[in-house]
Chains A and B, each alone.
Chain A
Amino acid sequence: MTSLQIFLSRLRALFQRRKLEDELNDEIQVHLEMQIEEHIRQGMNPDEARYLALRKFGGVDQVKEIYRERRTLTFVETFVRDLRFGFRMLRRSPGMTTVAILSLALGIGANTALFSVVDAVLLKTLPVEKPEQLVLFEWQSGRPFRVSGMSGTSNVAVPPGHRGLSMFRNDVFQQMRKAQATETENPLSDLFAFGPLADVTVKVGNQPEVTKGQAVSGNYFAALRVQATVGRTLADDDDRAGASPVVMLSYQFWQERFGGNRGVIGQQLTLNQQSFTIIGVTPPAFNGTLQVGYSPTFTIPLAIEPLLKGERSNLGGVWWLNVMGRLKPAATQQQARESLNSPFQTAALAVMPPPRKSNQPAQIEVKDYPQLIVEAGGRGMLDRRKAYAPSIYGLFIVVGLVLLIACVNLANLLLARAALRGPEIKIRLAVGAGRWRLIRQLLTESLLLATLGGVVGVLFAYWFKDALSAFTNEDTGLLPGGVELSLNWRVLGFTLGVSLLTGVLFGLAPAWRATSLDLNSTLKQSGRSTSSMSRLSKGLLVVQVAVSALLLVGAGLFIRTLHNLQHVNLGFNQENLLIFAVKPEQAGYKEEKLLRFYQQLFDRLDHLPGVRAATFGKVQLIANDNFINDFLLPGETEATAAQHETMRQMVRENYFATMEIPFLRGREFTVQDNESATRVAIVNQTFQKTFFPNGDVLGKRITNNYKKREVEIVGVVADTKYMSQRDDIEPLLYTPWKQEATDIGKMHFALRTTGDPAALANQVRQVVHDLDTNLPVTEVDTQSGRSETTLAQERLYARLFSIFGALALALAGIGLFGVLAYSVSQRTKEIGVRMAFGAQATNVIFMVVWQGMKLVLLGLAVSSLIGYVLIRLLNSQYFGSDSWQQRMKQQLYGVTIGDPLTLLTIALLLTLVALIACWLPARRAAKVDPLVALRDE
């Protein structure tokens, strides 16, 4: 207790320094006066009296010092004093201070912005109660099973060791839920499911638009413990087959479309032409539990989903639901898994037929049964988060490197300055200041610098994160769309940590060195220092150069990749092409009606002024879109051969002419190729070369496994790129639209325009609206714009590497300049001597420049070594096709990592910049007047 009391009184004293100091002075003053008086009374004269009084007292200052130390928290006082001193030192060299703070701020700011990405995408937990209790279910099976997913049917085999599948069938989920609910001992308090509903037409007022939402089980909100901001949440009662259709809106949607009007509760909302009653609004921060970046605008009960999707309802056997649960307080994930594995297996086996390969046995062994996996669910769906992790972390490393360079730069500058203060420091050490004390003082200075850099860095971070959000989107693969980046306490805590760390890092080395130099050598103003640039300083410069080189090479490679991709031959003419998509089924069109609708639409589009030709295709080109079918070659049956795969496209008759794809052989589609005629197809050259290598393809019939249709190949066209600029050309099979009445669905239109395609966008929307007010027009763009968007990731990388590389180079250049300038200033005398002995200006320049260039060359050598190791690493066979290393390699296009042209260019660029950085101080050296220099002895 007493030590606490003492601490408190010391703490109090801290704030009353001035007053207490005065009091002490007064007290001592009075003491002395009284003693002097007594002495005078005893008969001494005033001087003697005073002298004796002082002697009796003892050392006044010493007493004061001891008193002071006892009175307050000395370490706080010294810290404050160091801080003040630090401020003064920084103010003394405002130029260096500003450069230092700015470069630190840039580095720290960039790191902070990126950390906010890491936080938002990878770390943030769901805004629900006790997210740590949530678990996520996935499953695996050792044997391939045929599974109908949302994008089609395929064979699924996810052997143990790989990430599981997170999709479940509704009936399987219901069985699991029944098992969980009936078992009182079950470790889960709730089991719930949710699934995405993309591409839904919602009509607010007169305007239809396409949006995305989700369907959830009745206990979804109860399990998550999320309340509605307005109205009520969905409940189990709403999740019944015959229940009245209800919907919840997302907070953002409610604000944007309904102006935050509370009166929407009870009103009707039209989704896919069906009427739903709005019963509530979800809370502002709640974005659902689906993939990161997928924010559902509406939520409906699972049982009502068929109303929206009609025949295409996923409840009829599609694996599309995500399943999560909430653990009871003491339960573990393992318990949850064990309790539900059996019900899951039974239900799954009942609905999964084995794959259709004829050479596989029909009986499945127990060990190959599908198995349930449980993972922590506090962050919602993890799959996509994990997919983003490598690129985010990769970028993080790059940015971290830039910060490193800034630190190294600063360390260099501080080293130089510390050496300048060498004599001062030596003297202080000599008169007894503790070494540790001095280091503390120097460290305080660098920490101060780092903290200031951190504060300014937070400001930069605001701009950087906004820039990051603006410049990345779904397509770049760096940031998922729709993610909100915020500088919350976690991120700011990170900033603080990084600032302190950098402060210590770049402060410690100079502080250590400054206080450890041999006493003798610096106290004397020795004529020639053994090396005017210490080895540490040189080492730091080499590192800077090496890192800049690596970053710049990265930039060069990505720029070339981007350039190559932008100039790839696509196989068709992408200029002056307006593209858009419509999905008439959403407005109720089917088969006959659908074909008629499209015909009507074309009638109008063909005659739209500014449109030279109008066509469409099922798949949008150069947009990472695809459509694949299996088929059998003539003479093959399912029993005798395995299926082949081909890319697919359904087109209008004028497709090849409009897209300007050269037609090679046979005949094009005509309007006669309709439902009543023979089914025909046209293939691309690669298809012909792959499956009919002897060239004889016209007239051949293949069996399309999809609906078992036979088609006759009547023509061959030139190859085009399909999914993106960089993919290899795959076999492609085209069929005429009129023969695809049942499958045609959503189509992607392409209009060849006479002028700027974007100018026609509104007219096109009007044309569609005139035909049907319930049909939204989506994905409106120009083809060249769409192609550019597909390159978003490459563009981003090129830009980022360039920015960071340039920044790194600038920092390295400044560092080189600073250190050489300092070195020159230290060697003035030596230079004077040389010149006195006949050295020319050019000799001096050469000497200084070589001093710097030596380091640059060494830096280039180091970076080459690192680069070489990196290339070997990436090329090694250790890594599977899934790993990030392989993906890194696949980022480039048309250049290899060791591309000589790029490497040479960067090396030259670096050398040039370095030469300039060296030449400036060299010039100053050459101007040294030998007489003046020598006289300064």
Chain B
Amino acid sequence: MVRESKHEVLPGTLNLLILKTLATLGPLHGYGIARRIEQVSGDLLELNQGTIYPALLKLEQMRWIRTKWSTSENNRRAKYYSLTPAGKRQLAKEEEEWERTSSIVTRFLNPAEK
């Protein structure tokens, strides 16, 4: 079976992915976020799950997410992350950035339209 090569997560986009995940799914613990990212990307994204934690720390330091210890589905004490209003704004901004960047690149790659 030919294994499709996995793509590495582009540096910097991890923030976006995390924020989006939290926006979509609401408060979630670290494991949940990591799994969600893997699933949504169709398991095509090679992600060392552990790298999510430093990223989450950074987002917390920037006050875009907040944390709370709570009980999970299977009765475990886990740290839950949720978006703050500032985080929502940051998400919107980054989405817009991403759109703009990708549209520029797309236009470059499809020069046919005159």
Question: What residues make up the interface of A, taking CB atoms closer than 8 Å to B?
Answer: 2, 5-6, 9-10, 23-24, 26-28, 30-31, 33-35, 37-38, 56-60, 62-63, 66-67, 70-71
Contacts and interface: CB of A to CB of B under 8 A. Distances in A.
Contacts of A59: 48, 50
B57 interface: yes
Interface in B50-103: 50-51, 53-54, 57-58, 60-63, 72, 74, 76-79
A56 to B, nearest CB: 5
Given A9-B61, A37-B74, A31 B54 contact: no
Interface in B31-63: 31, 34-35, 48-51, 53-54, 57-58, 60-63
Question: Closest 5 A-B residue pairs measured CB to CB?
Answer: A58-B48, A63-B50, A58-B50, A31-B31, A34-B31
Nearest to B34: A31
A27 B48 contact: no
A171 to B, nearest CB: 77
Contacts of B34: 31
A10 B31 contact: no
Given A30-B78, A57-B49, A60-B50, 6 more contacts: A27-B53, A31-B29, A31-B31, A38-B35, A56-B49, A59-B48
Instruction: Name the prevailing secondary structure of the B interface residues.
Output: helix
B109 to A, nearest CB: 33
Contact of B54 (A5, A23, A37, A66): A66
A31 to B, nearest CB: 4
Interface residues of B, number: 23
Contacts of A31: 29-31, 34, 49
Given A6-B62, A24-B53, A34 B48 contact: no
B105 to A, nearest CB: 28
B55 to A, nearest CB: 9
A27 B80 CA distance: 10
Contacts of B63: 5
Contacts of B57: 67, 70-71
Contacts of A24: 53
A707 B6 CA distance: 118
9 contacts: A6-B61, A27-B30, A34-B72, A35-B35, A58-B50, A59-B50, A63-B48, A63-B53, A70-B57
A27 B60 CA distance: 15
Interface of B: 29-31, 34-35, 48-51, 53-54, 57-58, 60-63, 72, 74, 76-79
A26 B30 CA distance: 12
B75 to A, nearest CB: 11
Contacts of B79: 23, 26-27, 30
A58 B49 contact: yes
Nearest to A67: B54
Contacts of A6: 61-62
B53 A67 contact: yes
A410 to B, nearest CB: 43
A458 to B, nearest CB: 41
Contact of A30 (B29, B48, B49, B62): B29
Given A5-B62, A6-B61, A28 B76 contact: no
B76 A33 contact: yes
A28 B53 CA distance: 9
A37 B74 CA distance: 10
- Counting chain A CB atoms within 10 Å of each CB, which of B29, B53, B62 scores highest? B53
A70 B59 CA distance: 11
B81 to A, nearest CB: 10
B76 A30 contact: yes
B59 to A, nearest CB: 11
Contacts of A27: 30, 53, 78-79
A33 B72 CA distance: 12
A27 B77 CA distance: 9
A70 B29 contact: no
A553 to B, nearest CB: 65
B50 A57 contact: yes
A10, A37, A63 pick with most chain B CB within 10 angstroms:
A63
A58 B63 CA distance: 26
A70 B58 CA distance: 8
A30 B61 CA distance: 22
B51 to A, nearest CB: 6
A5 B61 contact: yes
Nearest to A7: B61
Contacts of B72: 30, 34
Nearest to B78: A30
B61 A34 contact: no
B54 A63 contact: yes
B2 to A, nearest CB: 22
Contacts of B50: 28, 57-60, 62-63
A67 B57 CA distance: 7
Contacts of A10: 61
B23 to A, nearest CB: 20
Contacts of B62: 2, 5-6
B11 to A, nearest CB: 13
Contact of A57 (B48, B61, B78): B48
Please indicate which of the listed interface residues B34, B57, B62, B77 has the most CB atoms of chain A within 10 Å of its own CB. B57
Contacts of B54: 63, 66-67, 70
B30 A63 contact: no
B65 to A, nearest CB: 13
A23 B60 CA distance: 15
Contacts of B53: 24, 27-28, 63, 67
A71 to B, nearest CB: 6
B88 to A, nearest CB: 16
A63 B50 CA distance: 6
A55 to B, nearest CB: 9
Contacts of A56: 48-49
